[in-house]
């Protein structure tokens, strides 16, 4: 899957030297090799400032994860799902662009990020879930990065009620079918907690990441 990815030209700090801070280091770039290396180490990129001039590499001290059995599926969510059609990797660019237009602090999904993840998608590493309504309009979705049995959820959006929740539910189903084991949500926001996301300490997360990204079970 990643045979075409060269070795990263950047050297991320060894985990033993990481600070007790959500931001581990700054700099580098958004090349595919850099991103793959970062995710495999438990890092993800976000800009540190509103001018988008300083790229930070984050590994939260308390990491948001969704254990599959904890996913909260309400009766109303089951009803909502019946209104939608779900697909995978059918409109990746549109999903990322829609996520970038959602009002968020710092507005971190810039054109640089869009270009970087579209390239990762072309290489078969980044993936999207799309939610369509009965008028064949894209009304929700999510995207992220897969390495072996690990999926790093990057962002989600919804234009109709429950559309992003249904996307997450579908992602969990697809991950279970594929024998995957770790779904990373970066942080546990109130919205994500309502769906069953919890927090684990960074060292526990890194151990689970190592198990999920090793080539063999």
Domain ranges of the chain: 63-202
HEC letters along 75-127: HHHHHHHCCCEEEECCCHHHHHHHHHHCCCCCCCCCHHHHHHHHHHHHCCCEE
**Residue 67, SS3 per DSSP:** coil
Integer angstrom CA distances of residue 180 from 17, 117, 171, 174, 197: 29, 21, 11, 9, 17
Residue 2: per-residue pLDDT: 46
Describe the strand order of the beta sheet including 55-58 as a list of residue ranges: 23-26, 55-58, 44-47
Check: CB of residue 110 under 8 Å from CB of residue 78: no
Residue 1: per-residue pLDDT: 41
Q: Any idea which architecture 63-202 has in CATH? A: 3-Layer(aba) Sandwich (3.40)
Dihedral of CA 212/37/215/143: which sign?
A: positive
Residue 7: per-residue pLDDT: 84
Residue 49: per-residue pLDDT: 80
pLDDT in tens, the chain (217 residues): 445 677 888 999 999 999 999 999 999 999 999 999 999 999 999 998 867 678 999 999 999 999 999 999 999 999 999 999 999 999 999 999 999 987 654 456 889 999 999 999 999 999 999 999 999 999 999 999 999 999 999 999 999 999 999 999 999 999 999 999 999 999 999 989 999 999 999 999 999 999 999 986 5
Half-sphere exposure of 59 (CA within 13 A, CB side): 24
Check: CB of residue 107 under 8 Å from CB of residue 155: no
Integer angstrom CA distances of residue 18 from 12, 48, 64, 200, 210: 10, 17, 19, 17, 17
Residue 217: per-residue pLDDT: 56
* Of residues 159, 92, 80, 169, the one with CA closest to residue 130: 92
Check: CB of residue 65 under 8 Å from CB of residue 42: no
Question: Which residues are registered as beta bridge partners of 141?
Answer: 130, 157
Residue 103: per-residue pLDDT: 62
Q: Is the pTM of this model over 0.85?
A: yes
Check: CB of residue 72 under 8 Å from CB of residue 172: no
């Amino acid at each position: 899957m990643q045979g075409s990815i060269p070795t990263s030209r950047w050297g991320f700090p060894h985990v033993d030297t990481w600070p007790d801070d959500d931001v581990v280091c700054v700099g580098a770039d958004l090349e595919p090799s850099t991103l793959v290396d970062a995710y495999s180490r438990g890092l993800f990129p976000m800009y540190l400032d509103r001018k988008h001039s300083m790229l930070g590499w984050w590994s939260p001290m308390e990491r948001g994860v969704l254990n599959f059995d904890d996913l909260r599926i309400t009766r109303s969510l089951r009803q909502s799902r019946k209104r939608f059609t779900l697909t995978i990797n059918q409109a990746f660019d549109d999903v990322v662009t829609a996520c970038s237009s959602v009002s968020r602090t710092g507005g971190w999904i810039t054109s640089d990020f869009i270009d970087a993840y579209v390239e990762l998608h072309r290489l078969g590493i980044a993936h999207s879930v799309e939610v369509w309504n009965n008028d064949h309009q894209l009304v929700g979705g999510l995207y992220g990065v897969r390495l072996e049995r690990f999926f790093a959820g990057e962002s989600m959006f919804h234009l109709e009620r429950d559309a992003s929740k249904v996307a997450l539910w579908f992602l969990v189903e697809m991950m279970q079918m594929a024998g995957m084991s770790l779904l990373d949500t970066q942080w546990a926001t109130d919205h994500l907690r309502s769906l069953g996301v919890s927090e684990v300490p960074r060292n526990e997360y890194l151990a689970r990441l190592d198990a999920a990204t090793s080539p063999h079970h």
